[in-house]
Chains A and B, each alone.
Chain A
Amino acid sequence: MAGKSVESSSTKAKKYAGWVVAMILAVFWLVVAFVPFLFMVISGFKQKMETIMYGAFHMPEKFYPDNYIEIITDPRFWNYFKNSVIVLVLSLALLLLFAAFAAYPLSRFKFKMRDTTFLLIVACMSVPIHVTMIPVFQMSIKSGLYDSIWALIPTAVAFATPLSVFILTGFMKGIPADLEEAADIDGCGRYKRFFKVILPLCTPGLSTLAIYNGVNIWNEFIFAFTLTQSEKNRTLPLALWNYQGVYSSNTAMIMACLTLSVIPMIILFIIMQDKLVKGMMAGAVKG
């Protein structure tokens, strides 16, 4: 009896020690993850040479909001923002529609070449986009889309398609067949059934995909960089690039610009934290 209680108190002590170690490590990682953010936001409130002269940990005498104000009142910034929004909304709409189109026959019909088609789409998931870049650049010039935001939409849709089709196909397989059969008896054709029955039932899958792909499209850099040239046709990630070119020695200005570029994502994260994490998970479980 006594022996048993000694043992249980020693395992309790062990358990407690384990949690202490875990907590210390957790707090350490909290610092590692968060300090660069603090550096970014606070440096944005400093004057031009302050960070370089006094170091990162020197608190500004008074918070100097002019960098943020200068960017927010700059019409060019809002133009980048507008371009990003247009690309995001149109690409997402097309992507989700086309991916759902493709997932429907792949998940619910039997036809020749179905498995081959599915395999082809899955194989496209692992293609490094750089291998397509020169021909895509050439196509954009030939089609006259080069240096316009319209060049960015087809590429955004195309490169996000394989993963989206893969995930949606899995999702649609989970929708019970009876629901569709009932609609069949009611005289709904296959096309009508897709829009009336399947698509509405896919909303949860579509919304996680929208979030996962939305974050990627919003942050896309390399194709925006390659396929556009003039300032007025570029998206937000390129705003950072252009500001860096103009203000390269003005740390405070760049940090203010970075902070402003992250804010939309942070707001999104606060509004729908769980959905965002779920969206990331959906993207993650592709392997």
Chain B
Amino acid sequence: MEKTGSLAKRRKRSIAICSFVFLLPVLILLFTFLVYPIVQTFINSFTKWNGISVAKTYNGITNWKKLFGDKDFWRAFLNNVKIMILSLLIQMPIGILLATFLDAGGKKFNFFKVIWFLPLLMSSVAVGYLFHYALATNGGLISSISQLLGGGKVDLLGNQKTAIYAVIAVICWQFIPFYMVYYMAGYSSISEDIYEAAIVDGATRGQYVRKIALPLLVPTIKSAVVMSVTGSLKYFDLVYVMTGGGPGTSTELMATYMYKTSFTTYNMGYGSAIAAGMFILITVIAALIMRLMNSGGED
């Protein structure tokens, strides 16, 4: 009795040690590059610090007070919110439509799939530069189309009113294929039997999609919404290279504002406050959206 008991204990201990050894590299990495930096960012947000000198002076809640009253930050946040809402309204429906089309067509539509997929192969930086030139006043695509149709040149990115919408259009161009693939994954997880049963029962393809497939896709749609929301709130690369936040502050985002404050003007204390504020806003919004969707799904 006693012997087996101690044997079980020893086995348990050896499992615990083995688990710890296997988990160690990942835990070290996550603590060093995620947990510790997040804590450090919050600590830095209470300092005045240029990032270069060793001297950090604590200045209490000065940065946070400034952040609450900072028009530029809230303007940036509003731009992020615009991106978030329009991304949801544009990317989700088009993504579902494209996936539905490919799902209905099967292998025949491989050609469409390949071309539609292309934007996803480009880095955000490359997409940003491409459209920096493709939307330029001189020699840009839209400008050239307008001239072909007899209109004048169009300056989408140089105009404070249109720049943010041009940015959103480019973001949609880049990410619609991602959601297309995402919904294709959703479709492919619906079993073939369900489709066949529906067709045998006399349903048309349209009815199958509306009445059977879409309801089954709801969990997929929900997680796509969460991804799109958190993604929209932390965009950086594309906007930074395409407009640099300009003209003026018309396309400034929280992340570009944080980057410029920290690494262009070397105000790292305030930059940390922006980063921390961004972290809080994203977490709160994501949590709210998840709660909203979960409560909607239960009735």
Binding site for B on A (CB under 8 A): 11, 15, 18, 22, 25-26, 29-30, 32-37, 39-40, 43, 51-57, 98-99, 101-102, 104-106, 109-112, 114, 117, 120-121, 124, 126-139, 154-155, 157-159, 161-162, 165, 190-191, 194, 215, 218-219, 221-222, 226, 237, 240-241, 244, 251, 254-255, 258, 261-262, 265-266, 269, 273, 277, 280-281, 284-287
**Minimum-distance CB pairs A-B, first 5:** A287-B223, A219-B123, A105-B19, A158-B33, A132-B37
A-B contact count (CB 8 A): 263
Are A133 and B125 in contact, with the CB atoms below 8 A?
Answer: no
> Which single residue of chain B is at the shortest CB-CB distance from A164?
B26
Binding site for A on B (CB under 8 A): 12, 14-16, 18-19, 22-23, 25-27, 29-30, 32-38, 40-41, 44, 51, 94, 97-98, 101, 104, 109, 112-126, 129-131, 133-134, 136, 138-141, 143-145, 147-148, 173, 177-178, 181-182, 184-185, 188, 204-206, 220, 222-224, 226-227, 230, 233-234, 236-237, 241, 255, 258-259, 262-263, 268, 271-272, 275-276, 278-279, 282-283, 286
**Complex partner residue of B29 from A54, A98, A190, A269, CB under 8 angstroms:** A98
Majority-rule SS of B interface residues: helix
**Complex partner residue of A37 from B37, B118, B268, CB under 8 angstroms:** B118
Majority-rule SS of A interface residues: helix
Are B181 and A221 in contact, with the CB atoms below 8 A?
Answer: no
What's the nearest-Cβ distance from chain A to residue B157, in Å?
Answer: 14
A63 to B25, CA, bound (A): 52
Are B173 and A33 in contact, with the CB atoms below 8 A?
Answer: yes
> Which single residue of chain B is at the shortest CB-CB distance from A94?
B25
A129 to B206, CA, bound (A): 42
**Complex partner residue of A240 from B129, B131, B185, B283, CB under 8 angstroms:** B129
Contacts of A25 in B (CB 8 A): 97, 101
> Which single residue of chain A is at the shortest CB-CB distance from B263?
A226
Are B126 and A258 in contact, with the CB atoms below 8 A?
Answer: yes
Contacts of A219 in B (CB 8 A): 122-126
Contacts of A265 in B (CB 8 A): 121-122
Are B119 and A33 in contact, with the CB atoms below 8 A?
Answer: yes
**Complex partner residue of A131 from B113, B114, B275, CB under 8 angstroms:** B275
Are A134 and B206 in contact, with the CB atoms below 8 A?
Answer: no
What's the nearest-Cβ distance from chain A to residue B136, in Å?
Answer: 8
> Which single residue of chain B is at the shortest CB-CB distance from A160?
B29
Are A56 and B144 in contact, with the CB atoms below 8 A?
Answer: yes
- Take A36-B130, A130-B255, A277-B181 as given contacts and tell me if A55 and B33 are in contact as well, using a CB distance cutoff of 8 Å: no
Are A109 and B126 in contact, with the CB atoms below 8 A?
Answer: no
What's the nearest-Cβ distance from chain A to residue B188, in Å?
Answer: 8
A252 to B151, CA, bound (A): 25
Are A240 and B30 in contact, with the CB atoms below 8 A?
Answer: no
Are A130 and B223 in contact, with the CB atoms below 8 A?
Answer: no
